[in-house]
Amino acid sequence: MLVVHSIKEVKDAVSAWRKEGLTVGLVPTMGYLHEGHASLVKKSSDENDRVVVSVFVNPIQFGPNEDYDKYPRDIESDSKLVEAAGGNLIFNPLNEEMYAPDFSSFVDTAGVTEGLCGAKRPGHFRGVCTVVTKLFNIVCPDRAYFGEKDAQQLAVIKRIVRDLNIPVEIRPCPIIREQDGLAKSSRNTYLNDRERKAALVLSRSLNKAHNAIEKGERNSDKLKAVITEEILNEPLAKIDYVEISDSLSLKPVDSIKKSVLVAIAVYIGKTRLIDNFTFEIK
């Protein structure tokens, strides 16, 4: 397992594999990897001959008051995890390798970026679309792997791939959780003991809504109230959004028909966490 820092090294490795007729999977990440990321690498390794994992804290997807500077980084532990999960190459570029000083070209999409995190984090998805498009062009993978943990990101990437005819197959991967239900996230390391316990309110409130849908509740406002009430009972939690949307368009829905995304973003202290589930009415 190799860690490389330049685009040329990635291209050389991939073109050597291509000469052997091998298939290539890509797993884009920001590093500080955990079992959620490992599940993506494993799936990619099951489905492709070779796996590239990018580890890059992408500055252009962070807002001015967000956690870019303090985002956790540990490339040594990341390389061990990637190797154990079956990855073959880590691409860990410096900002200068990805962004020329006069960089001025961006990829963006409308509609699916308007609500949820897109509304709360202006410019975030433009940064994501741009870096992921660059990674697609650098690696030219057969398949790329994204977690359902970032449901809107997944929808956004599927949309640019479809709209711009990017020749890659997008493979969604289920949310990996801690035993007590908290969705694994590199940002969980920001939480102190009290906040870690309080953070369970995300999965707990979503479970309540899930149960309510299973029992037949179809009204979005009532379901959002179930979630909101649970979160308001947790003193360390502050709601950023609670939304129920069509899972393809991500437009808010008044009542549950077909497939919906129930998504929340909640501050636990200063740490913003997200979680979601998708429900399909059969």
Q: Does 121 contact ligand AMP by CB under 6 A?
A: no
Closest approach, Cβ 140 to ligand AMP, in A, equals 19
Active site residue 210: no
Closest approach, Cβ 229 to ligand AMP, in A, equals 25
Q: Candidates 15-23, 30-38, 119-127, 244-252 — which segment interacts with ligand AMP by CB under 6 A?
A: 30-38
Q: Does 250 contact ligand AMP by CB under 6 A?
A: no
Six token digits for residue 92: 């860990």
Residue of 42, 126, 184, 224 that binds ligand AMP (CB under 6 A): 184
Q: Does 131 contact ligand AMP by CB under 6 A?
A: no
Closest approach, Cβ 152 to ligand AMP, in A, equals 10
Closest approach, Cβ 61 to ligand AMP, in A, equals 9
Q: Candidates 29-37, 98-106, 214-222, 261-269 — which segment interacts with ligand AMP by CB under 6 A?
A: 29-37
Nearer to ligand AMP, 150 or 240 (CB): 150
Q: Which residue's C-beta sits nearest to ligand AMP?
A: 147
Is 278 within 8 Å of 246 (Cβ atoms)?
no
Nearer to ligand AMP, 171 or 224 (CB): 171
HEC letters along the chain: CEEECCHHHHHHHHHHHHHCCCCEEEEEECCCCCHHHHHHHHHHHHHCCEEEEEECCCHHHCCCCCCCCCCCCCHHHHHHHHHHHCCCEEECCCHHHHCCCCCCCCCCCCCCCCCHHHHHCCCHHHHHHHHHHHHHHHHCCCEEEEEHHHHHHHHHHHHHHHHCCCCCEEEEECCCECCCCCECCHHHHHCCHHHHHHCHHHHHHHHHHHHHHHCCCCEHHHHHHHHHHHHHCCCCEEEEEEEEEECCCCCECCECCCEEEEEEEEEECCEEEEEEEEEECC
Q: Does 175 contact ligand AMP by CB under 6 A?
A: yes
Residue of 10, 30, 132, 161 that binds ligand AMP (CB under 6 A): 30
* Distance between CA atoms of residues 93 and 102, nearest Å: 18
Nearer to ligand AMP, 3 or 22 (CB): 3
Closest approach, Cβ 169 to ligand AMP, in A, equals 15
Q: From the candidates 34, 37, 124, 210, give the one annotated as an active-site residue.
A: 37
Q: Does 176 contact ligand AMP by CB under 6 A?
A: yes
Residue of 26, 129, 173, 206 that binds ligand AMP (CB under 6 A): 173
Residue 236 Cα distances to 185, 192, 269, 271, angstroms: 18, 11, 6, 10
Angle of helix 7-19 versus helix 124-139 axis, rounded to 10: 50
User: Active-site residues: which are they?
Assistant: 37
Q: Contact residues for ligand AMP (CB under 6 A)?
A: 29-30, 36-37, 39-40, 146-147, 149-150, 173, 175-176, 183-186
